[in-house]
Chains A and B, each alone.
Chain A
Amino acid sequence: MLERIQVLICGGTGCMSSHSKEIKQAFEEELTNLGIKDEVGLVLTGCFGLCERGPVIVIYPDETFYAHVKVSDVKIICEEHLLKGRHIDRLLVKNPLDRNKIKQMSQLTFYSKQKRIALRNCGQINPLDIDEYIARDGYLALGEALTKMTPDQVIKEVLDSGLKGRGGGGFLTGLKWQFAAQSVSDKKYVICNADEGDPGAFMDRAILEGDPHSILEAMALCGYAIGSDQGYIYVRAEYPVAVERLEHAILQAKEYQLLGDSIFGTDFSFNIDIRLGAGAFVCGEETALIKSIEGFRGMPVLKPPFPAKKGLWGYPTNVNNVETLANIPVIFLKGADYFKSIGTENSTGTKVFALGGKINNTGLVEVPMGTTLREVVYDIGGGIPNKRKFKAIQTGGPSGGCITEKDLDTPIDFDNLKKLGSMMGSGGMIVMDEDNCMVDVARFYLEFTVEESCGKCTPCREGTKQMLDILNRICDGDGTLKDIDELEKLAHMIQKTSLCGLGQTAPNPVLSTIKHFRDEYIAHVVDKACPAGVCAELTHFVIDDGCIGCTKCAKNCPVNAISGWPKQIHMIDDELCIKCGACKKACPVGAITSIPSIRGEAV
């Protein structure tokens, strides 16, 4: 029987952790009870991108978008919506502008400003069903290329598209393929880099979970282009759902003979295997990744020779990032010119960003290159919660830097972000508001790199640790002006003398916060104050006469440091206060502020 309704349930990692599997099960039971199980299709998809509102479900053909769905909501959805066609109002998302409920997914500004190429199938198809991928023109690009194009033509198409690597380096993909194709060897390898170590980034995981076949198809295309018959997907073991769906996809593709020997009746053969990584950031660096697949410790080695010449087991190897590969089939289906028409001159196509931090719509967004940061933060991201003021946005993760208000109108592309002292990186975007201390932010990223340094070279291993010591000192109120100079000196030294990208870029978050927020550093070392009220040693909370005596702060204080009668101004005992900030968040009238202090004493 024909399905009259399809219910798409988000099966991305975010929503799965908030019970989307149980929701699907509840639907199955409820639909059976109502006797309409045959009429309604249930599909567990990949991430819809709006993870903040998860678990998310979309009901077709109306395209109704329901957010924060609970298992207990399933009954009413079945009875009212599926049976009688009435929307469940309270599960709809509100339009932030007029507070009206939005019924259709495409009406959400979160989606309407996006352009989905790499994520084209995420949240649209069942990742466990190869037929749904094929219905969306899956494997058509591979079929046409194998039967109608020479490897050189394939490379030329990718070159013409202007696609640049999305894994961090931003190197022209077509050129890379060309190098690998030109290396003469009877054995070559294609590697998909799915290590995704950048804290905050999860676009690669979402693609693998939501659209695994697009990666397989792109790898096979690459294999045909460079003359390889074997691919590896290097994915971290911490991504079990992605691994499971990839394994399933590979099996299905083999069954359909879309992988294996003589694909589409040609003499081209290609196989793909999965290699699990232990989840070290440095293993995302391509030479370390290759070492890791070979069974050695994942440590970077000197380039050149580049992997395109001497890679896996000494054979020419092409390494591409997941998101880079996800774009490839579209370049063939719609043409290089179409791809080039999106984005800016030197950065074509789109980029996926993982929006996080102090922003309303945390999640995955894909926008054309050249979209401004302001559009991403305010239009798509929905702005900063709780009426706080925007302070900075960190792009490029632990290798990147921060961008401030004055540069928010910059169109995002590889070159512009570099000019601003940050970088594209893998696409993490962390938004910070006035409650974030920038010294503390720098410290967070540096702690990460100190942990993740492989230890091979001294400047990276020891230098970053010294920088971290200095930052700790500054946050504890023991820093001096000389420390800031020292940080900069160390930073430049590490950048120049480290072997791999990890060390070379590790100082970036520190340098960029010093550049844009030197006054905050100075406040820490000279005034012994943390203006944002984050560094415990340098913060002091006070209640001003705006207090209406609602007692909320006192109720929220974990150490009972607040006293006062209802309807009277409250007081904080600084001796007891542990600077957790809970009171400030709880106060409905904003009467609690953190003020700079000298070791706990107000200045």
Chain B
Amino acid sequence: MKTLAELKKLRDESLKKMTMRYTKDGFRVQVGMGTCGIASGARPILNEFLEQANLRELKNMTITQVGCMGECAYEPMAEIIDESGQSYVYCSLTIPIVREIIEKHIINHQPVTRYLLSTRKDK
């Protein structure tokens, strides 16, 4: 390491691995990982959220898993809580849907209503 620029580059790279320890604000994504969640494929969904966050260097979201969300029929599900505490529950997720949610909801702050649990149930 011979220059400040090199140091800063290494800092930014290393920080990526550690951001989850320090980001507290922004969106909170909770993927339902109860028994049926896992059975219906919640793990790839969780991983997709993470992958996308990493790929697009999204610093404004924390991704965690939660237990049973009480709606086994609609798994895999994820709850997204925004800065104001407003909660959105997305259900029957697939990998393309996750990408869409990231794009629209997390990046452009536009919830994707058609995948929301309430909308689906009304159908």
Contact = CB atoms under 8 A, between A and B. Distances in A.
Interface of A: 2-6, 8, 39, 41, 60-62, 83-86, 124-125, 131-132, 134-140, 143-144, 147, 256-258, 264-265
Nearest to A131: B14
Interface string B14-47: 1101101101000000110111011000000011
Lowest 3 A-B CB distances belong to which pairs? A85-B65, A135-B14, A131-B14
A131 B37 CA distance: 36
B37 to A, nearest CB: 8
Contacts of A256: 1
A123 to B, nearest CB: 11
Nearest to B8: A140
Nearest to B32: A85
Contacts of B67: 84-86
B95 interface: no
Nearest to B61: A61
Contacts of A143: 4, 7
Interface string B39-83: 000000011001100100000001111110000000000000000
Contacts of B1: 256-258, 264
A256 B2 CA distance: 9
Contacts, number: 85
B11 A264 contact: no
Contacts of B30: 85
A131 B4 contact: no
B3 interface: yes
Interface of B: 1-4, 7-8, 10-11, 14-15, 17-18, 20-21, 23, 30-31, 33-35, 37-38, 46-47, 50-51, 54, 62-67
Nearest to B55: A2
Contacts of A60: 20-21
B38 to A, nearest CB: 7
A459 B46 CA distance: 71
Contacts of B11: 134-135, 137-138, 140
A424 B84 CA distance: 44
6 contacts: A2-B50, A39-B47, A125-B18, A131-B17, A256-B1, A264-B1
Contacts of A138: 11
Given A84-B65, A124-B21, A131 B10 contact: yes
B24 to A, nearest CB: 8
A529 B38 CA distance: 69
B114 to A, nearest CB: 26
Contacts of B10: 131, 134
A257 B2 CA distance: 7
B34 to A, nearest CB: 6
Contacts of A147: 4
Contact of A85 (B8, B20, B33, B54): B33
B14 A264 contact: no
Given A84-B34, A124-B21, A61 B7 contact: no
A178 B63 CA distance: 49
Contact of B7 (A3, A5, A8, A134): A134
Contact of B4 (A3, A136, A144, A257): A144
Nearest to A39: B47
Contacts of A132: 14, 18
Q: In the complex, which of the residues A6, A125, A135, A147 has the most CB atoms of chain B within 10 Å of its own CB atom?
A: A135
A247 B7 CA distance: 22
B50 A4 contact: yes
Contact of A84 (B3, B15, B38): B38
Given A4-B63, A131-B14, A256-B1, A61 B21 contact: yes
A121 to B, nearest CB: 11
A31 to B, nearest CB: 14
A6 B14 contact: no
